[in-house]
Amino acid sequence: MTSPLEGGFQVAGLREGEPSVHGALRIWPRFGRGRGADAISLRILELADGTAPELGNPESDEVLYVLEGEGIVSLDGHVERVSAETGIYLPPGARMRIDNWGRAPLVLASARCPDPGSDGVLPPAAEPAPPGLARQPKPFVRLRDRPREATGDRWYSVLVDERLGSRQVTQFVGAIPPGRAPDHHHEYEEVLVILAGRGRLWAGATSADIAAGSCVYLPRAQRHCVENTGEGELRLLGVFYPAGSPGVRYESR
């Protein structure tokens, strides 16, 4: 069940509520313009065996991250086998096809900026894209191929940014050690998916439990803190808009 907190923060489950269904593809909208966000969205996509309808957005940047499973993604002339810990950048006007040939579902987290308010499912193209016109740079990146940046006792790795062509949105994976850091705020709007560990999201005087699978919406310029209540690191996927550095934060009093 979605937990609203002080200042507009929200916490929800990965597959909470009823998804929209498009053949073998199911889409759970977590946050967006119609669900309390100003511009950013977060959706969970799950593809069973087979091929999903083509996805795309005329005017929005979309960044995706593979949470579970394996598949093949065709995007702007590139064809890539993807698996967990792969980031994907879908630029405005591009078309993406996802194939799941495995036994387990292929699960992805998707953030779009600005949120177009639609499912992003495209009608079939009148003609297939001509071969040999692959966009540069390549729109796929794996977490293991990105360096870790340290900020105090935390670390983060940026996956999608201007290096993949996205000047509006930043996607990263980060880790928080046990304990609670000072309250702070950011000058961007952000969504999170907790990948491992457990903790609490603090927003002013309110809080909510978070654990692997929790989805979080963080409004811009609002005081908050993510506390790690476990014994190991709390790992999370983050996407924020406008783009910038995950290491920048402003302490709040």
Q: Tell me the per-residue pLDDT of 163-178, one tens digit each, with 9 for 90 and over.
A: 999 999 999 999 999 9
Give which of 146, 150, 175, 174 is closest to 161, Cα–Cα.
146
CA 219 to chain CA mean position, Å? 15
Give which of 92, 97, 49 is closest to 69, Cα–Cα.
49
Provide the pLDDT for residue 23.
93
Query: Who contacts 127 (Cβ-Cβ below 8 Å, separation ≥6)?
Result: none
pLDDT digits (tens, 9 = 90+) for 189-242: 999 999 999 999 999 889 999 999 999 999 999 999 999 999 999 999 999 999
Provide the pLDDT for residue 88.
98
Query: Which has more pLDDT, 49 or 65?
Result: 65
What does the alpha-carbon distance between residue 169 and residue 147 come to, in Å, rounded to a whole number?
Answer: 19
Portion of the chain with pLDDT greater than 70, in percent: 94
- Name the pLDDT band for 131 (thresholds 50, 70, 90): low
90 pLDDT above the threshold of 80:
yes
The CATH number that domain 15-118 falls under is 2.60.120.10
* 169: number of Cβ within 10 Å: 25
Portion of the chain with pLDDT greater than 90, in percent: 81
- Name the pLDDT band for 94 (thresholds 50, 70, 90): very high
- Chain-wide mean pLDDT for the chain? 92
pLDDT digits (tens, 9 = 90+) for 138-147: 999 999 999 9
Fold of the domain spanning 143-245: Jelly Rolls (2.60.120)
The DSSP element (H or E) to which 196 belongs, if any, is strand 189-196
- On whether the CB atoms of residues 113 and 60 are closer than 8 A, the answer is yes
Provide the pLDDT for residue 247.
79
129 pLDDT above the threshold of 60:
no
Provide the pLDDT for residue 158.
98
Provide the pLDDT for residue 152.
84
Helical residues (DSSP H) of the chain, grouped into ranges: none
Provide the pLDDT for residue 253.
58
Decide whether 15-118 matches 143-245 in CATH topology: yes
pLDDT digits (tens, 9 = 90+) for 53-62: 999 999 999 9
Provide the pLDDT for residue 142.
98
Burial class (CB in 10 A: 0-12, 13-18, 19+), 152: exposed
Provide the pLDDT for residue 136.
73
Provide the pLDDT for residue 132.
52
Give which of 21, 13, 10 is closest to 46, Cα–Cα.
21
pLDDT digits (tens, 9 = 90+) for 99-127: 997 789 999 999 999 999 999 999 887 56
Domain boundaries, the chain: 15-118, 143-245
- Name the pLDDT band for 133 (thresholds 50, 70, 90): low
